[in-house]
């Protein structure tokens, strides 16, 4: 039932937001070039890898040694706006259509993090990850990793349609108010290593 609702709402969202999606596509193409969509491997349900889609927010500028420059030197003005408004996340509606993501669930993290979860934290992999989740409406990047994981496992243990509707409603409010959307100018978060 949840998957059906997810895909139905994703289709409606893509149709309703299509003018914005098209506009952003060409803005990014003109300001940063191709590719417009950024793909990155993330951990899905049961730890299965998948490619998450986002609008590109950084260039591929490199130093004299061919290494990518730091994020704060590669993120563009357009990219900063995309991240602060969460518009860079919109392509994930297509991940929902593919079944890789749900609208609501623990945020999908890097595959390398799976090896560091303790038994309780690993419960976040028991469900399909989401575009938004319980942790996202309760602090997002202002939380420590342990706090995020506690919220994620609480969601897994208490998930319901009513809770999902509440999370979606609160997500819209937080995005409109721009609360907890970005805690740095690049949106970069410290990597999880099992100790932090």
What gap in Å lies between CA 62 and CA 60, rounded to an integer?
6
Establish if 77 belongs to a structural domain.
yes
- 44-61 confidence digits (pLDDT tens): 999 999 999 999 999 888
Average pLDDT over residues 167-184: 77
* Domain count of the fold of the chain: 1
Establish if 146 belongs to a structural domain.
yes
What gap in Å lies between CA 128 and CA 44, rounded to an integer?
6
* pLDDT, greater one: 75 or 156: 156
* Alpha-carbon dihedral 138, 142, 144, 149, rounded to 10 degrees: 30
- 159-173 confidence digits (pLDDT tens): 999 999 999 999 999
Establish if 190 belongs to a structural domain.
no
Q: Inform me whether the pLDDT recorded for 81 exceeds 70.
A: yes
Establish if 99 belongs to a structural domain.
yes
Weakest-pLDDT range from 3-17, 131-145, 155-169: 131-145
Average pLDDT over residues 182-190: 55
**Domain residues for 50?**
2-177
Establish if 119 belongs to a structural domain.
yes
- 103-136 confidence digits (pLDDT tens): 999 999 999 999 999 999 999 999 999 999 999 9
Establish if 52 belongs to a structural domain.
yes
Establish if 189 belongs to a structural domain.
no
Establish if 191 belongs to a structural domain.
no
What gap in Å lies between CA 165 and CA 185, rounded to an integer?
30
Six token digits for residue 4? 């059906």
- Cβ neighbour number for residue 174 with a 10 Å cutoff: 18
């Amino acid at each position: 039932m949840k998957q059906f609702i997810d895909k139905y709402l994703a289709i409606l969202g893509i149709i309703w937001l299509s003018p914005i999606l098209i506009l952003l596509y060409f803005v990014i193409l003109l300001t940063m070039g191709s590719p417009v969509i950024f793909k990155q491997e993330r951990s899905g349900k049961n730890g299965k890898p998948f490619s998450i889609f986002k609008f590109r927010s950084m260039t591929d500028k490199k130093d004299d040694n061919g290494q990518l420059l730091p994020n704060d030197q590669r993120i563009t003005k357009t990219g900063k706006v995309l991240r602060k408004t969460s518009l860079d996340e919109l392509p994930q509606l297509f991940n929902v259509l593919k079944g890789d993501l749900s609208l609501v669930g623990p945020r999908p993290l890097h595959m390398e993090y799976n090896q560091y979860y303790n038994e309780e934290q690993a419960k976040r992999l028991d469900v399909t990850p989401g575009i938004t989740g319980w942790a996202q409406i309760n602090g997002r990047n202002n939380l420590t990793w342990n706090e995020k994981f506690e919220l994620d496992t609480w969601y897994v243990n208490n998930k319901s349609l009513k809770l999902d509707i509440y999370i979606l409603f609160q997500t819209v409010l937080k995005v409109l108010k721009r609360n907890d959307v970005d805690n740095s100018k690049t949106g970069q978060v410290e990597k999880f290593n099992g100790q932090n």
